[in-house]
Each structure stands twice: as structure tokens, then as C-alpha cells.
Amino acid sequence: MLPIRIEEIPREIQEYLNKINSISFPRQGHSSNVGLIENNQEIYALKRTKGELNCALLNREVTVLNCLTQKTKLPIPKVKSFVEQVSEKESWALIEFLEGETVRAALYNEKSKGKRHEIIYNFGNILRQIHSTPCPSELISERPWLDEKLCQAGLNLKKYTVDGTGELLGKIKSFKPKEYNQTLIHGDFTIDNVLVSNGVITGVIDWGGGAYGDPRFDVALAIRPKPNAFEDEIDKQIFFEGYGDKIINDNEYDYFVKGLYEFF
């Protein structure tokens, strides 16, 4: 998607900001435009989504953030303003800006082995904190999380372009992993969605998948190999030391990363 232009920003958000001094654009996500906006008081992150699926994700993220910022002490941003433009099939969210760079950027740039290990350890530890946080009742569904995700996977396969196939969907429906105690989960816990500064985690962003679900899904996405991150077993070992337990095996990892995630 093209970067956000100031004249496109909804009136309600422009009025909240009062005056926009500057707007810049960090590395863009797949489902939204993100701009960093500075006014006379502070810096904000502005997210715009287009289309039914992505707007639904942003709507969900706003709901999750509002719930978690009220009921938990997790390091997550507050929503300042949210606007749905139904006729244009666009949604906008003005969100508190959190200091730090992504874990991906930090690991890519850090040359010290000791500091890299510190970042990975803290990356695992913040996920443990999320999974140990009581899930607010508003985020708990009557249906098991995996059943809901498989149903949504089928809908996504029919309506949108996804990496998964009908054959793969049939396979993951037939061979589900053994049940595991559900917890509060992030739903897209990757090295792009956790912020760090001087080795310390400063925030966790992009909560569109936040739910009461299977914590192994978060763990699987966290340890996916990326350039200069989790390419070696030592990175995974340090992650699990920070997390405090190794709750996933190779088959479960494949199920979530090479199976379920292909539809989202």
C-alpha cells in the first residue's frame, strides 16, 4: 500500500492531534500502512487498513488493546483514536508510540554475542509474561481457539489469497495436536512485533490476533528462522531459557508454522 498522506487522515484524528508537525514511515507491515506522526506534544503511530479482512484485524486489535491496557500491566500501547470508514472500507487507529527498535532489527545490527543472547532471552521472557497474565473474560470465546482458527482458515481460503491449500487445510483439520492449556496469547508473536532498547523489552505491538488460545502458536512463530535470528539451535535454547520451559516439539512446530499459519 502507498504511504499515508496527511490529507487522507480522518478529520476526527486530525482534530485529536490538533497540529501535525511531521509524518514518517517505518518498515511497513503486510496488512496495514503505518506512519509515525509528531505533533507539539508527542509521537504517535497511525495505522490504516484497507479491505474487509485487514479492517477486521485492526478493529480486533483496537478491542484487544483497549481491554489489555485497562486490565493488565503488559508493555503495550494505548489506543488514542479509532475511526472506521465503512463506505471506503478503511479503518484508522491512532496508537501510542513506544520507544525501541524491533527485535529483528536489534538482532540484525548487534555484533556482540552476549548482547544478542540477552535480547533473545528477554524476547522469550516477555512471552512468558504474556502467557502468565490472566486473560480478561472479554477475550475468552466459548469455542476452543484452534477450532475457531481452523474455521477461519477455511473462510480465508475461500475469500482471500493465502499460502495454504485445500489439501493442507484438510490435513491440519484431521491431525490436530494434542490439547494444551489455553492462555492469553498474542497471536502473531514475531521478532517484528516486539520492541527492544539496550537489550530491554520496551513494548509488544500488533495485537490483532490477541485471544485466549494455544500458547504453542506464539512460541512457534517466535522461533521461526529469520536472517541472523533463530538460524542456530543456540538461539532457540536461549529463548526457551527466557521463557522458562520448552512447551513445543518439532511436530507441533510444523503444525502451527507450516500448517495453520499458511492461512493467515
Total-model pTM: 0.94
Residue 30: the pLDDT is 59
Position of cell 482458515?
153
Residues 6+ apart with CB under 8 A from 172: 150, 153, 255, 259, 260
- The series of mean pLDDT values per 10 residues for the chain, 264 residues long, is 84 94 76 88 94 92 98 98 95 97 96 97 98 97 96 95 97 97 98 97 96 98 96 97 98 98 96
Distances (CA, A) of 89 to 50, 65, 102: 6, 22, 29
Residue 28: the pLDDT is 54
d(C-alpha 258, C-alpha 168), whole Å: 9
Residue 169: the pLDDT is 98
Q: Which of 26, 28, 94 is nearest to 66 (CA)?
A: 94
* Cβ 55 vs Cβ 90: under 8 Å: yes
Q: Which of 59, 74, 79, 166 is nearest to 129 (CA)?
A: 74
Please state, as a whole number, how many other Cβ atoms lie within 10 Å of the Cβ of residue 38.
Answer: 16
Residue 37: the pLDDT is 95
d(C-alpha 28, C-alpha 34), whole Å: 6
d(C-alpha 33, C-alpha 238), whole Å: 33
d(C-alpha 76, C-alpha 95), whole Å: 10
d(C-alpha 137, C-alpha 226), whole Å: 35
Residue 241 C-alpha cell reads as 531459557
**DSSP-derived secondary structure for 106-168:** HHHH---HHHHHHHHHHHHHHHHHHHHSPPPGGG--SS-HHHHHHHHHHHHHHHS--S--HHH
Ordered domains of the chain (ranges, CATH): 6-96 (3.30.200.20), 101-263 (3.90.1200.10)
Which three-class secondary structure state does DSSP give residue 7?
Answer: helix
What's the length of the chain?
A: 264
Residue 82: the pLDDT is 98
Residues 6+ apart with CB under 8 A from 23: 4, 6, 35, 36, 37, 38, 46
d(C-alpha 223, C-alpha 38), whole Å: 34
Residue 27: the pLDDT is 67
Position of cell 494505548?
78
Report the amino acid identity of residue 241.
E
Helices 113-132 & 215-222 angle (0-180, nearest 10): 160
